[in-house]
Amino acid sequence: MTTSTGEAIQFWVLGIVAVLGALGTVGMRKAVHSALCLAGTMIVLAVFYLAQGAYFLGIVQIVVYTGAVMMLFLFVVMLVGITAADSLKETIRGQRAAAVLCGIGFGILLIAGIANASLHRFTGLAQANAGGNVEGLARLVFTTYVWAFEITGALLITAAVGAMVLTHRERTERPATQREQSEARVREGRNVTPLPAPGVFARHNAVDVPGLLPDGTPSELTVNQTLRARGQVRDVGGEQERRVRKLEQRSDEYVEGVTEGEGAPEGGRDRSGDNDGANHAEGAAK
């Protein structure tokens, strides 16, 4: 059996995509882009599997790798911060050259070697899939390779235990009850109410955009603690501030127009101006 033209075209086109995706995975500065490139490669691989007659594998590739594993990757990447970018500057002298050289050398060896293997014809697919692809696979997994299949269970248990060991933080003391928390807040005298829930003052629906207080200053309390610690609070600046200031100016003018010479309430405007400056400085520092 030889390769059909259609399969050949499909292979060469998708092959290029897969390789580009793989290169992108390595070469992109942002983790999200890398992850997406990897997902692309995996999907292409799934198509290859399907085209080779390995239906179960193809579907599993999409469901498990692209669907589950890659999505988990993306979740993690999003949590870490989608803006985080790695520097691609190489600090070790000769590393990149050596890597490229070794990679190319190894690639040439494999290609030359395998191409030399004269695999112009291939057979056996029909027999392997004779009783149905899934059934054939099941037969192997539950007979010949049942031992390997079973001990994979140990791998999974280890993985679960490992995840717990490396990430689970058991509390060392009793968590404070709601009552104690509220008492502590009263005692401190700051933020007597609970923290503002997301969206209380929201003018924007992204989690890293702080809500604005009535006087137009952004309230950092409205942003998730993790993002705050990481310094990933979006600078509200620009548009929003300007709009608030314009609004205030208009209302001032209106009040001036109505009262005609009576003392204007200066405080709010001054305060907003101060805060504006402070916020910019803070943003720059971050």
Partner 1 sequence: MDPLIGALVGAPLLGAGILLVGGRRLDRTGHWIGCLWAAVSFVIGVVLFADLLSRSPAQRTLTSHLFTWVPVAGFQADVGFQLDQLSMTFVLLITGVGTLIHIYSVGYMEHDENRRKFFGYLNLFLAAMLLLVLADNYLLLYVGWEGVGLASYLLIGFWQHKPSAATAAKKAFLVNRVGDMGLSIAIMVMFTTFGSFAFRPVFAHVGDVSQGRLTTIGLLLLLAACGKSAQVPLQSWLGDAMEGPTPVSALIHAATMVTAGVYLVVRSGAIFNAAPTAQLAVCVVGAVTLVFGAIVGCAKDDIKKALAGSTMSQIGYMMLAAGLGPIGYVFAIMHLVTHGFFKAGLFLGAGSVMHGMNDEVDMRRFGALRTYMPVTFVTFGLGYLAIIGFPGLSGYWSKDKIIEAAFAKGGTEGWTLGAVALVGAGITAFYMTRVMLMTFFGDKRWQPDAEGHEPHPHESPKIMTIPMSILAFGSVFAGGLFSINSAFLKWLQPVTGHSDGHSPVATWEITVATLVVLILGVGLAWQSYGRQAVPAVAPRGSLLTRAARRDLLQDDFNHVVLVRGGEHLTRSLVYLDHTVVDGAVNGTAAGVGGLSGRLRRLQNGFVRSYAVSMLGGTAVLVAATLLMRGV
Partner 2 sequence: MSATAAAVHSLWTTRALADTAATPAIPTPHIEYAQLSPVLIVFGAAVLGVLIEAFAPRAARYAGQLAVSVVGLAAAFAALVALAADGYAQGRSHVAAMGAVAVDGPALFLQGTIVLIALVATFTFAERRLDPVAHGNRVDSFAAQGSAVPGGEQEQKAVRAGFTTTEVFPLLLFAVAGMMIFPAADDLLTLFVSLEVFSLPLYLLCALARRRRLMSQEASVKYFLLGAFSSAILLFGIALLYGYAGTVSYGGIADVVDGTAKLTPALANTTGNDALLLIGGAMVVMGLLFKVAAVPFHMWTPDVYQGAPTPVTGFMAAAVKVAAFGALLRLLYVVLPGMRWDWRPVMWGVAIVTMVVGAIIAVTQTDVKRLLAYSSIAHAGFLLTGVIAVSPSGVSSVLFYLVAYSFVTLGGFAVVTLVRDAGGEATHLSKWAGLGRRSPLLAAVFAVFLLSFAGIPLTAGFSGKFAVFKAAAQGGAVPLVVVGVISSAIAAFFYIRVIVMMFFQEPQPQGPTVAIPSPLTSTAIALGVAVTLVLGVAPQYFLDLAGKAGVFVR
Estimate the crossing angle of helix 5-27 against helix 31-51, to 10 degrees.
160
User: Which residues contact residue 96 at a Cβ distance below 8 angstroms, ignoring those fewer than 6 apart?
Assistant: 90
99 interface partner picked from partner 2, partner 1, none, CB below 5 to 8 A per type: partner 1
152 interface partner picked from partner 1, partner 2, none, CB below 5 to 8 A per type: partner 2
Nearest alpha-carbon partner for 40 in 58, 18, 62, 61: 18
Nearest alpha-carbon partner for 219 in 238, 243, 195: 195
CB of 107 to partner 1, least distance (A): 9
* Contact residue for partner 1 among 19, 71, 80, 109 (CB under 8 A): 109
Does residue 217 contact residue 283 with C-beta atoms inside 8 Å? no
- Rounded CA-CA distance 263/64 in Å is 69
Long-range CB pairs of 255-261, under 8 A, 24+ apart, other chains included: none
The 71-100 site mask, x for binding partner 1 (CB under 8 A), equals ---------------------x--x--xx-
Q: Quick one: CA torsion of 73, 79, 85, 89, rounded to 10 degrees? A: -60
For partner 1, the closer of residues 92 and 285 by Cβ is: 92
Site for partner 1 in 111-130 (CB under 8 A): 113, 116
164 interface partner picked from partner 2, partner 1, none, CB below 5 to 8 A per type: partner 2
The binding site for partner 1 (CB under 8 A) comprises 92, 95, 98-99, 101-103, 105-106, 109-110, 113, 116
The binding site for partner 2 (CB under 8 A) comprises 1, 4, 50, 53, 55, 109-110, 113-114, 116-119, 121-129, 131-133, 135, 138-139, 142-148, 151-152, 154-155, 157-159, 161-162, 164-170, 172-173
